[in-house]
Amino acid sequence: FWVHEKFICQKSAFFRAALNGYWKESEAKVVKLPEDNPEDFNTYLALMHTDVVHHAHCNEDDTQTMSEDLHRLCSLYLLADKLQDYKSMNAIIEVLVSDLNQSRVIPATYTVYMVYRGSPTSSPPWKLPV
């Protein structure tokens, strides 16, 4: 992905430190995130540019799609947390809470496991109803 340095550094404390500190990334201006899902990063970039959390708005009866969407939103939250973008984290939590309140779907076991493994116990997703 090609991203304007000034823009991403305004949004993300992680990129601000990586690109303006004493790390090798600050010289090369390249930050590799091989362990992160490219789809999540693409969605994160869209959120960064629009301040809108792009996700599936599905029928409440389509529990499979809603469960997958909850998983993607949780994964996106974990990425925003890693990148230290608190505004994006809050926007994602708002969508998660809204979706959970408006549906009969609960996060899948693998989604709960991903959140519990990827965030501290004080993290907002830990407080979501399951």
What are 107's two structure tokens?
């996060």
Considering the domain boundaries, does residue 16 fall inside one?
no
pLDDT of the residue at 61? 66
pLDDT of residue 101: 81
User: Is residue 86 in some structural domain?
Assistant: yes
Whether 83 shows a pLDDT value over 90: the answer reads yes
Does some domain include residue 117?
Answer: yes
Between CA 99 and CA 40, with CA 57 as vertex, the angle to 5 degrees is 85
Tokens linked to 11: 């949004």
Residue 6 resides in a domain: no
Report the alpha-carbon angle 101-105-46, nearest 5.
75
Of the two residues 129 and 99, the one the predictor is more confident about is: 99
Please provide residue 45's backbone torsions phi and psi, each rounded to the nearest 5 degrees: -60, -40
**Length of the chain in terms of residues written:** 130
Whether 130 shows a pLDDT value over 60: the answer reads no
SS3 71: helix
Q: Domains in the chain: how many in total?
A: 1
Whether 27 is covered by a domain: the verdict is: no
pLDDT at 105: 78
Domain assignment present for 93? yes
pLDDT tens figures, 3-15: 999 999 999 999 9
pTM of the model: 0.86
Q: Would 30 be classed as within a structural domain? A: no
Sequence-ordered alpha helix ranges (H) in the chain: 5-11, 13-20, 24-28, 38-50, 63-82, 86-101, 109-118
13: in domain: no
What residues make up the domain containing 71? 36-127
Count of C-beta atoms within a 10 Å radius of residue 49: 12
Question: How buried is 51 (Cβ within 10 angstroms: 0-12 exposed, 13-18 middle, 19+ buried)?
Answer: exposed
94-119 per-position pLDDT tens digit: 998 888 888 777 788 888 888 888 88
- Residues 34-65 pLDDT 10s: 999 999 999 999 999 999 998 766 566 667 77
